[in-house]
Structure 1
Amino acid sequence: MSIQWFPGHMHRARKEIAALMAKVDVVIEVLDARLPTFSENPMLRELRGTRPCLKLLNKSDLADPLVTMAWKEHFQREAGTVPLEVVATNARDARAIIALLPRMGPQRNLVMQPLVCLILGIPNVGKSTLMNTLVGRKVARAANQAAITTKKKRVHLNDEITLYDTPGVLWPKIEDEEASFMLAGSGAVRETAMDNTEVAARVGKYLLREYADLLRTRYKLDELPENEMGLLVEIGKKRGCLVKGGEVDLAKAAGILLNELRAGQIGRISLQKPPAWREG
């Protein structure tokens, strides 16, 4: 299954980004630390070209720290790229970003000609939250759901740095099935774009393979179910998601799994591992 979800404001945003890019010095690409390259829009890579890129692995407090470390090593091998794990609401992380940006851009008098930075990323990855933290006040609407920002915003961070925030942009069609399900599981697309139960089942299959102990602890499972649908049934039983006749309401169980995953209540989980991890 592929995602085809490209609202009109995303099309406008792509055109705006292309127009802005000519005057941008440094690109700040916000990725989801739980699924870094799944949350990396290939269209944005094309638009960025050879400009220096600060890749922020946001929501790192929700991701598996060992996997995040491996992803940082992966991105360090990319020319012109500096990876940094962050939490968008963390003021200390914001200060580290502000200190790093001037060192990545052209060496010039930034008071006379401020550094122009553009924040990019897919929906619900934390761009607007990061903007608010960097500025120290609310300048962008932020919420834990996709497609909140619909227009670009510009703020002067200080005398030396100007920031542009843009709407989250997905590519018109996500062909990679695994990426589609994991992006949906992370909350990067609205729940109406894919079937919630199907998404939870695919994510559950991954969790059974990669994070079985966390599932066992969170849902007090004496034995792990044999498959992903069995996992949803067990979660439904544990949480009282029963309908007439004692059947489990799979849609409710799916909602519980996805909501608790997104909130970090199951544990620190990465939904994608780097190529070197799979080879090791």
Structure 2
Amino acid sequence: MDTRNWTKVTEFLLLGLSSRPEIQPIIFGIILSMYLVAVTGNTMLIIVACTDTKLQAPMYFLLSQLSFIDILLTTIIVPQMLVHTMTGIQTISFKNCITQLFFFMAIGSMEGHLLAAMAYDRYVAICKPLHHSTIVTRSLCLRITSTSFVVVSLNSLLYSVLVSQLTFCGNQVTHFFCDITPLLKLSCTRPVVNEMLIFTEGAAIVISPFFFILASYVRIGAAITRLHSAAALKKAMSTCSSHILVVLLLYSSVIHMYLQPSSSYDLEQDRQVAIFYTVVTPMLNPMIYSLRNKEVKDALWRFWKKI
């Protein structure tokens, strides 16, 4: 390719969910409604987890951290998307685009690490119930979350720096926010280094929590099988079902979006999957935990009566 035709990109044009102007008000209303539900539900979970005396176990501390991450994740994306949809001005500066990419990747990766910590808590609670209070402590949870945050931040910084050094042959991003895949598609040359990192270092950061969760539930399943007790199975399912459902919601979309070569991506389909990951899942998580966890449900009811 003739490098003389390359120009420095100073801003990107985010094409949004749809180019049809007649459905923009519908998109705005739906996304705004889901965003408000997500923020409200997760905020209520944070409040009850921090203030209710019956929810002071490490599991609920991790749940409050997950809710906080969900609020950050959807807030990084949705307000800007709503402004672009309402005003029709869809440009974003190069600097702001890379900044959004950094925070999106860091916060998104952090969610998987929190779910892995919650899986470890469930494993200890079921397989080593007598030692649960001494093994899984709030200080351990704080160390896990702080270490995970440092790791995912360094990983996101690496990706952001590499993307910022690319030369782009165009500035129209087929997405509603600055994600790594559509940006790589705009590169004038195939970003081999970036793709190698996605499948090596990136996969290790993003997918390793999933394998840890899977291993935890294999151990839990083996422990329950040895008990030969229907009551134990019922208790374990009631304890873990909410967490399993949230894990499936998260990783089904993550694996689809990122663990394939950029040449085989369908960006139109990925926009729909991204809505599920950035808006729908943060909205559903507090509903799943409040409806399927009796302690959380009771705490929310006590909080509602106080109001």
Structure showing greater relative contact order (alpha-carbon pairs closer than 8 Å, 6 or more residues apart): 2
Q: Which has the higher strand share?
A: 1
Q: Which has the higher helix share?
A: 2
TM over 0.5: no
TM-score (norm 2): 0.22
TM-score (norm 1): 0.23
| Bigger radius of gyration among the two | 2
